[in-house]
Structure 1
Amino acid sequence: MVFQLCKEPMLYLFGATENTIGYSMDYLNIYLYGSIFVELALGLNFFITSQGFSTVGMASVIIGAVVNIVLDPILIFGLNMGVKGAALATITAQAVSAVWVVRFLCGRRTKLRIQRRLLRLDAKVLAPVLALGLSPFIMQSTESLVNIAFNSSLKTYGGDPAVGAMTICSSIMQVFSLLFQGLSQGAQPIVGYNYGAGQLDRVKRTFRLLFFSSLCFSCAACAALELFPGLFVSLFNDKPELVEIAVWALHIYAAGMFMLGVQFSCQQTFVALGQTRVSLFLALLRKVILLIPLILLLPRFLSDQVFAVFLAEPVADILAATTTGAIFFWRLPRILEKRRLELEHRPI
């Protein structure tokens, strides 16, 4: 409802121009009506994976992706619906995923079955859930503020070509970030369960596996983007002028990506351990405390202002990951020791 009332100014804030606002409005007008489906599909899917049904959880994502891939060419080109067809394909795919997830959670295999008598708000349950969810919520919502800062700065210093290059760079980065998010979210239920059960050695082993896997993925992704930027940029656009700018920008933008594995693994493990305050601070650190001010300040000190805007990303990545890692490895032994003492003094 909020976005319906202010969608046009919001689109301009996110970088829409007079040339693209029509397409953006066409897409958003349809997509907003189907946003409830993505909330159901993604939100409830965690209740499937946390029970150990990882294959079912993965299937819910794959089903939506396949439906979207099949419907896109049919609606966009076959029925000549253009951008509206893309939006309709997306919400249809999300609806199919939502039905799949809800049906499973109402079935016999699940241990956490959706029941009418349990669908009520309980402050004792809701408060800690909201507290733990605040950190990932801020991580996602601040992405919007970052996009606004990037697009407004680049529109001022570099015009539409720079904004277009930024769109490509951020899209590529988001694709690779899904790897780290998938690893972190997959490890969270294991870390949380074993922490609650007092299996602290398993918590350590799970985190070590998550940390080194994420670090290897982030280093490999960074190397791939630095060595073959043109390959990835060409997947999003084939206009020579824009490709040239985007390749140059991607070299700068992805330079700090090797540290993202540290950021994601440590921060999400804090969430799994119930450390709401520190996870909230770390969620704000990279984007709000570091990245947005750097986007606004670096162009004032460097002669190449477009370069300065893109440079803000790797500088923030490296500073945030270093700080996150230092805080995590300082606090983790204390958190586990406190839990061990709680278990020792727990009445039998």
Structure 2
Amino acid sequence: MANISSDELGTEPIGKLLVKQALPASIGILVMSLNIVVDTVFVGHWIGSIAIAAINVVLPVSFFIAALGMAIGIGGSSIISRSLGKGNKEKALNTFGNQIILTLLHTVALVIPGLVFANSIIPGFGGKGDIFEPARIYYTIVLYGVPFLALCMMGNTVIRAEGKPKFAMTAMIIPSVSNLILDYVFIKILGYGMHGAAWATTISYLLCLIYVSWFFLSHNSELKLTAGNFALSRPIVAEIGALGFVTLARQAVVSVTYLVMNNILFNLGGELSVTVYAIVARMLMFASFPILGVTQGFLPIAGYNYGANKFERVIKSINTAIKYSVLVATVVFLIIMLFPGEIASVFTSDELVIKETPNAMRWVFGAIPIISIQLIGAAYFQAVGKATPALLLTLTRQGFFFIPLVFILPRFYGELGVWMSFPVSDVLSTIVTGYFLNKEVRLKLK
């Protein structure tokens, strides 16, 4: 798990390099996912099952705003990786400076109206009935910390683009561990309830930003900024926007998915169904960590070697990333299929929730072994700077297939139709992405 210099992205053996990049990313995502899961467990047992639903309502709003940072980060990091591959360090520096300014401007501009219109936004995302008040408390406090999170997510992708995956992993671990510690102190010991859960999250975001800032100000980073690097450049901003929009669109669709799911499930089964979905969604985030880790490790490798015109290495990185992620996804699939009831009981002692969750969980994870093909395929086009196919393929899974299906299938199958929409959309999007990725490899890289 040693850190590497950026030029080694073009020389190290692909398998070894992917492990170096993906393992720290996977560990970081694992810890972050564990934080979300354990945080949900704490809230469920120490506050109540309604609190789980309340947090699930708030997440898509706060994560969408924070995802601006990730979008700007990934868009800019693609430029940085390719620029370092071409030996153009000045462009890499200017891109990073522009990323910082864009992240600050956009997130603050969204947080302010987000706070002003909180009472309208929360019910729109499913925070109705008994869910509204705890959701309002959590939402208001967490939104103050969202700009910190956005800067962390942006900085993390840049650290990875430099070939420093171990530091990127640490940046993900710090807020996760601190959030759990603060959860225990604020909720269990001090009894602050939803206020405590929210402040624990916000403070953990701030601690992460302090670490990321230290990395770039210390000798560990190759990107030493000067005042001139912060001047916004129209071509760089346009390129960051085009590539970053792919990530932003993905998160926007995720947020819309939460909105649609919370409202449809509330209408079909009330607070119970929303709580079941909250648990399933947490497990989906947690169980996807190795696939997402491989995807994150793959991005700088593909981008750097594409920029250096080493297309055989790009092809090998695609094949290796898919092979590794399919393998780990299959292990996840087997665990979920065999122990869904036991998993549900970890989150809550509510017998009705435990009874209803396993069937939903099995359907949601039904096609998880193949979804890595879709994720790697979409990530490839983003890594090499092809914004349009990256955007379209990113949207296939949830935008083009899942959201329409979740409106159609419940008409015939009721609540079961909601859960069926997951594997059907996964299969369809994987077929589409696989076709275009194979075509790209045959016609462009070979």
TM-score using structure 2 length: 0.73
2:424 is the counterpart of 1:328: no
> Once superposed, what is the RMSD of the aligned Cα atoms?
1.4
Distance 1:226 1:14 in 2: 30
The code of the aligned residue for 1:315 comes to: V
Contact kept? 2:243, 2:382, Cα under 8 Å: yes
Distance 2:442 2:223 in 1: 33
**Who wins on radius of gyration, i.e. which is larger?**
1
The code of the aligned residue for 1:129 comes to: I
Q: Which residue of 1 aligns with 2:127?
A: 16
Distance 2:227 2:441 in 1: 40
Distance 2:309 2:422 in 1: 39
**In the superposition, relative to structure 1, how do residues 93 and 114 fare at CA in structure 2: closer, same or farther (>3 Å)?**
farther
Q: Which residue of 1 aligns with 2:355?
A: 244
Q: Which residue of 1 aligns with 2:198?
A: 87
Contact kept? 2:312, 2:445, Cα under 8 Å: no
Distance 1:166 1:13 in 2: 17
Deviation by residue 1:38-67 (Cα, 9 ceiling, x = unmatched): 011111111111112111111111122121
Deviation by residue 1:295-327 (Cα, 9 ceiling, x = unmatched): 111122x2x301011111111111111111111
- What's the offset of the Cα at 1:114? 3.3
- What's the offset of the Cα at 1:222? 1.6
Distance 1:45 1:116 in 2: 21
The correspondence for 1:231, drawn from 342, 349, 353, is: 342
Deviation by residue 1:177-197 (Cα, 9 ceiling, x = unmatched): 232222111110011001111
Distance 1:289 1:15 in 2: 22
Distance 1:119 1:198 in 2: 29
Q: Which residue of 2 aligns with 1:346?
A: none
Distance 1:219 1:11 in 2: 36
2:411 is the counterpart of 1:319: no
Q: Is the partner of 2:116 in helix, strand or coil?
A: helix
Deviation by residue 1:92-115 (Cα, 9 ceiling, x = unmatched): 111111111111112223111233
Aligned identity (percent) is 26
Q: Which residue of 2 aligns with 1:121?
A: 232
Deviation by residue 1:313-343 (Cα, 9 ceiling, x = unmatched): 1111111111111111112222224xxxxxx
2:242 is the counterpart of 1:131: yes
- What's the offset of the Cα at 1:148? 1.5
- What's the offset of the Cα at 1:116? 2.4
- What's the offset of the Cα at 1:159? 2.1
1:166-315, aligned counterparts within 5 Å? 166-300=277-411, 302=412, 304-315=413-424
Runs of 4+, deviation exceeding 6 Å: none
- What's the offset of the Cα at 1:200? 1.4
Matched residue pairs, number?
A: 335
Deviation by residue 1:218-241 (Cα, 9 ceiling, x = unmatched): 222122111111122222222111
The code of the aligned residue for 2:222 comes to: K
Q: Which residue of 2 aligns with 1:4?
A: 115
Distance 1:327 1:312 in 2: 23
TM-score using structure 1 length: 0.93
Judge which range, 153-162 or 289-298, deviates more.
153-162
> Which structure would you say has the larger RCO, counting Cα contacts within 8 Å and 6 or more residues apart?
2
Distance 1:28 1:153 in 2: 21
The code of the aligned residue for 1:313 comes to: F
Structure 1's unaligned 5+ residue stretches are: 338-348
Q: Which residue of 1 aligns with 2:189?
A: 78
Contact kept? 1:217, 1:261, Cα under 8 Å: no
The code of the aligned residue for 1:163 comes to: V
Contact kept? 2:377, 2:433, Cα under 8 Å: yes
The code of the aligned residue for 2:423 comes to: P
Contact kept? 1:47, 1:112, Cα under 8 Å: no
The code of the aligned residue for 1:114 comes to: L
